[in-house]
Amino acid sequence: MSTPRTILYTGKGGVGKTSVAAATAVRCAEEGQRTLILSTDPAHSLSDSLQTELGAQPTEVGRNLQAAEIDAQHELTRHWKGVQDWFGEMLMQRGLDRISAEELTVPPGVDELFSLLRLQEHHASGEWDVIVLDCAPTGETMRLLSFPEAARWWLEKIVPLERAILATAAPFARTVLDIPLPTGAVFQDLQRLSANLIAMDAILRDTAHSTIRLVMAPDRMVIGEAMRTFTYLNLYGYLTDAVVVNKVFPRGVGEYFAAWREHQQEQLGLVRSAFEPVPVLEVPYFDREVIGAEMLARVGEELFGAAAAGRSGASAILHDTITQTIESDESGATLRLTIPFARKQEIGLKQVGLELIVTAGTRRRTIMLPPTLAAYQPTTATYADGVLEVSFSRGE
Ligand SMILES: Nc1ncnc2c1ncn2[C@@H]1O[C@H](COP(=O)(O)OP(=O)(O)OP(=O)(O)O)[C@@H](O)[C@H]1O
Ligand SMILES: [Mg+2]
């Protein structure tokens, strides 16, 4: 059995994630691949886009193509019920009413995370050549990427201590803190959940098969968020193999939108500079909504057709290396950046707030540094074998 190709689309709200994901899936199916598209966004719109009624289990949409909208509430209950009951009980004992307690026991975004866990079984089923994921807006999804790290920590550090914690802390918790301790069942839930998170993470981090594609509109704020997301993805070791700029005003958009089109073209320049060498795929703003097979085929053609930057096929890995990595310890941090074919003398660096601007001759890259580096200043930079290494230390 071969490992399925997994493509995850994410981006800010309303930029066109669902449309682009559905168009990709339709195109993969047409190319003869057994394709599944899953929506993990609790506010589903995939059925509208595909014009087919969908449920939590895969439904046939066309030749080689099935789709499902995962039921977030169901997944939440499945994975979190034990923890929720215990935590809710504790909050209620401290005087909170039931409704508020129930709300507080579900951290924001976990419903999407739990939906994403469904990826595992489809990935393992052997039924699919390609799995496309249509995700919720980035803000939530990105925060979730750190969960597997937390899960690993939990499994390594806390689980082995379970018995000891229960035995020694129970009397203390009961008499001094006046809170119920988690039961064995809660521990078991968390343990199973942690194992699931780690397994899902392993699928998404398998850069030979899984990649992330960032969808954005050509607006400064949307691009800014996509850049931050890109930094996080790189940071956590996920491979971004393409960025999609959707809703670009085409040539001949008319006088009314002429200035706006010009502004968008400038923003496209920023996108290329921020994500280089990751390919940038463009989709024009169409004259009507993207709904149904015909419009999805048009989007697919723009993305992966003969004239497009992604012409090697909808499921091809369009870029195969993680272009920037950041490692940090107490004393500082090191940023490594792939900048092919530059000459050492022509490389320049400038930091403005959290943006690091790297110039190499006429090329320019804008990198959004993670907030943890806010207090750091670049100190030294070296360039060798196409890799720029920038060292940061804490500025006094
Ligand atoms: N290139 C385009 N031209 C015209 N309309 C488009 C284009 N791309 C998407 N749309 C329309 O924009 C709206 C939002 O698109 P879509 O639902 O794909 O975005 P989304 O990022 O998935 O949104 P959400 O964050 O709500 O999930 C839809 O009505 C869709 O038909
Ligand atoms: Mg959507």
Q: Which atom of ligand 1 approaches the CA of 215 most closely?
A: 21
Among protein residues, the one whose CA lies closest to atom 2 of ligand 1: 285
pLDDT of residue 49 exceeding 80, the answer is yes
**Statement: residue 255 has pLDDT above 80:** yes
User: How far away, in angstroms, is 141 Cα from ligand 1 center?
Assistant: 18
296 touches ligand 1 (CB under 6 Å): no
- CATH 2.60.40.790 domain residues, the chain: 324-394
Which ligand 1 atom sits closest to the C-alpha of 19? 18
Beta strands in 63-219 (DSSP E): 65-69, 130-134, 210-216
Decide whether any atom of ligand 1 lies within 6 Å of the 16 Cβ.
yes
Average pLDDT over residues 142-170: 65
- In terms of DSSP bridges, do strands 355-360 and 363-368 run parallel, antiparallel, or are they unpaired? antiparallel
Helix (H) or strand (E) holding 17: helix 17-30
Query: What would the pLDDT profile of 161-199 be if each residue is shown by its tens digit?
Result: 666 666 666 655 555 555 666 667 777 877 888 888 888
Residues whose Cβ atom is located within 5 A of ion ligand 2: 17-18, 45
DSSP 345: G
- The Cβ of residue 133 has, within 10 Å, a number of other Cβ atoms equal to 29
Which residues on neighbouring strands pair with residue 368, listed in sequence order? 355
CATH 3.40.50.300 in the chain is located at 1-321
Looking up tokens 């923003």 gives: 267
Q: Is the distance from the beta carbon of residue 291 to the nearest atom of ligand 1 less than 6 Å? A: yes
Query: What three-state secondary structure class fits 160?
Result: helix
Residue to mutate (ligand 1; options 290, 299, 302; most atoms within 8 A of CB): 290
For domain 1-321, the CATH architecture is: 3-Layer(aba) Sandwich (3.40)
Q: Is the CB of 283 under 6 A from ligand 1?
A: yes
Rounded mean pLDDT of 364-389? 83
Query: Residue 284 pLDDT more than 90?
Result: yes
Give the CA distances from residue 108 to residues 76, 103, 140, 143, in Å, rounded to whole numbers and listed in that order.
Answer: 12, 9, 8, 10
> Mean pLDDT across the stretch 322-346?
81
d(CA 9, CA 40): 11
The pLDDT value given to residue 128: 98
Task: Determine which residue's CA is closest to atom 23 belonging to ligand 1.
Answer: 14
d(CA 183, CA 166) in angstroms, rounded, equals 8
CATH topology for the 324-394 domain: Immunoglobulin-like (2.60.40)
Phi/psi for 288 (5° steps) reads -155, 175
